[in-house]
Chain A
Amino acid sequence: MLLGWLFIHPVALPDHWRLWMLLPLLACVAAVYRATRARRAAEMPKATVVTFVNILLGMAALALAFYGAHWLVLRVG
């Protein structure tokens, strides 16, 4: 009953949560990506953490680059 209510009536998401919701999704992406490359589950934890950090740093670098480009366009334009 509670589960039905939960998925039929959407849960509200506070504004400041939006960015933090990236972290669990990245963890899931890293875990699945590594699961499709590992022979056994025991190989996964370290590789998953490394992939998670790589994706996070890559996305942060992209965000900084776009922020810099945006700042430049506003400054020059």
Chain B
Amino acid sequence: MTKSRTDTTASSVAAGVLSWLLPGAGHYWLGHRGLAIVCFVAITFPYWVGLAFGGVLSSVNPRTNRWLFLAEMGVGGYTLGSLVVSQSVERNVLASAGLSHVPDAQRSPAEYAAYLDAATRAKYMSYYPAADVAQIYLATAGLLNLLVILDAVSRAQTGLPTFQRELAAARTEAG
């Protein structure tokens, strides 16, 4: 009994972590190949389309857009890789603007304007309407993957998706 519970916990954690690293990987590991492909496509598509319209510098940057970054972290594997590239691009922009760090827009508006100017001249920045679409796509992809992670954990524990598990519990209580 204890061993079975330990196994369930281990497979739940593994399914959750795999889904966090790569959308659908948890489902694939659990044997739900079709659902894994659906989850992979339905999250990978909006994530990379959003990144293409937003650009990695402004879209994956915890210093300049922390709430968006938090939502994107729902797809950890993609976001961590993008963050490495974003930091590298940011260092290039800072060097070309003669700055040591990203200035605060409120405290040092002139320095922040210089940072934006350098990023815009190098064609790293995205503005309306592409930036709006990018943020919506990226945040939606990250938050949707949270659903996928929870579903993978639920299936690892009971073999049923969350909704079906609730139905099964209701049927047991009614019966």
Contacts and interface: CB of A to CB of B under 8 A. Distances in A.
Contacts of B57: 8
Contacts of A11: 52-53, 130
A70 interface: no
Interface in B111-126: 123-126
Given A13-B130, A35-B148, A40 B34 contact: yes
B103 interface: no
Interface stretch (B3-11, B43-51, B64-72): B43-51
A44 B57 CA distance: 36
A33 B55 CA distance: 27
B160 interface: yes
Interface residues of B, number: 48
A2 to B, nearest CB: 11
B55 A8 contact: yes
Main secondary structure of the interface of B (DSSP, over half): helix
A9 B55 contact: yes
Given A10-B54, A31-B41, A37-B161, 20 more contacts: A4-B85, A7-B52, A8-B85, A8-B89, A10-B55, A10-B125, A13-B53, A13-B130, A17-B133, A18-B132, A28-B45, A31-B42, A32-B144, A35-B35, A36-B151, A36-B162, A39-B161, A41-B34, A42-B34, A44-B34
Across chains A and B, which 9 residue pairs bring their CB atoms closest together, nearest first?
Answer: A41-B34, A10-B55, A10-B126, A13-B130, A36-B151, A31-B42, A28-B42, A37-B163, A18-B129
7 contacts: A4-B85, A10-B53, A10-B124, A36-B163, A37-B164, A40-B34, A41-B35
Interface of A: 4, 6-13, 15, 17-18, 21, 24-25, 27-29, 31-33, 35-42, 44
